[in-house]
Amino acid sequence: MRFHKTLKRRISGIIVAALAASTASLAADSAVQPTQTFEELSKRKLHHQADGTFFNPWCDECRRGMLDFLYWKLVSTNRHAEQKKRPIAFQVHRPGFAALEAGEKDYTVWLGHSTVLIRANGIRILTDPVFGDINFLLKRKTALPIGSPEDLPAIHYVVISHNHYDHLDIASIRLLKKLFDPRFVTGPGYAGFFKTITDKHTTLDWWEAHEAEGVRITSLPAQHWSRRGVFDTNKMLWASYLVEGKGKRYFWAGDTGYFAAFREYGEKFGPFDAAFLPIGSYEPRWFMGVNHLNPEEALKTAVELRARIFIPIHWGTFDLTDEPLYLPIERLKEAAKDAPNKPRLKILDHGGWTTFE
């Protein structure tokens, strides 16, 4: 026991020293001047680097590495440790697809985490599909609200925000290909992943759009990062998406931290009929803060987007970070009580749905 404690202290010391050096190095990096619009930097491809990777050119502090992760897991203390012991269960509903499909209105169904089904102008778009566990360690804490993916109505498009395993699941992708043969939409860098699965793959860089069948899907900057293996950090671009169809506009954030682009999106594309914004996986803030919205930031984002309806996602499904699963939605409810100029908050249970007028 004494040996283990001594070893942990030594490892912690090494990590802390390395982090200090890494932080000093990052502070010297240059960022895009604040006067640069996100549309301009996107069209100038300033997020592309010479080595083929991508980055957030407006953010000096956005880079997180393995040393940060090790410090989080081995050194830092979880201030929510006792709260996480509290048992929690969320309501799960079987979506009423038959009734929704019988109507002509746009609708959405939340299937948990970042997986959202949006029907826009008759076209069904599924986002970041993950139908099962992430892996043998990270299992769903709230069940998939459909008996099987075969119960879904036909899917036309699958939109991927980034390549983390809780957002890009190869088993779910292959099943959707088999069931519906949809078109998959991603940022640059995913061609190798999809080439053995489908030839219906569209690459959208930031501020590029795909328009067909009465809908327009536009890729927009998000503040995040990507990695699936040891040597592929930031080789696949991350994004949020704007979905437009028959006069309706929907903003789906995917995974992102808070940054100034949301106000620009609100000014250029708003008001949005609905904004789907993540509210979970935000603790500890020193590690997660730049890449994940907390509930208060998500509410602020919805206001800046000029969203008419704010639908929170990315909570209550997988236990990924320090905060307990129930805390994000409780904090959001509290923050929304007295928020000025707030959009209508529409909290969906897992499997919950709503239509858009």
Residues 59-116: pLDDT tens digits? 988 877 778 888 988 989 999 999 999 889 999 999 999 999 999 999 999 999 999 9
Q: How many whole angstroms from its chain centre is CA 252?
A: 8
Judge whether residue 19 has pLDDT over 60: no
C-alpha span between 239 and 205 (Å, rounded): 8
C-alpha span between 139 and 135 (Å, rounded): 6
- Rg over alpha carbons for the chain, rounded to the nearest Å, is 20
Average pLDDT over residues 152-171: 98
Residue 230 main-chain phi, psi, to 5 deg: -80, -35
State both tokens at 324: 């307990």
Average pLDDT over residues 232-250: 98
pLDDT of residue 34: 53
pLDDT of residue 137: 93
Apex CA 266: angle with CA 216 and CA 334, to 5°?
Answer: 115
- pTM recorded for the entire structure: 0.91
- Strands (DSSP E) contained in the chain are 106-110, 116-120, 123-127, 157-159, 183-186, 201-203, 209-212, 215-220, 240-245, 248-252, 274-278, 309-313, 344-345, 353-356
Average pLDDT over residues 145-166: 98
Judge whether residue 29 has pLDDT over 60: no
Structural domains in the chain plus CATH codes: 2-26+35-78 (no CATH), 97-356 (3.60.15.10)
pLDDT of residue 70: 87
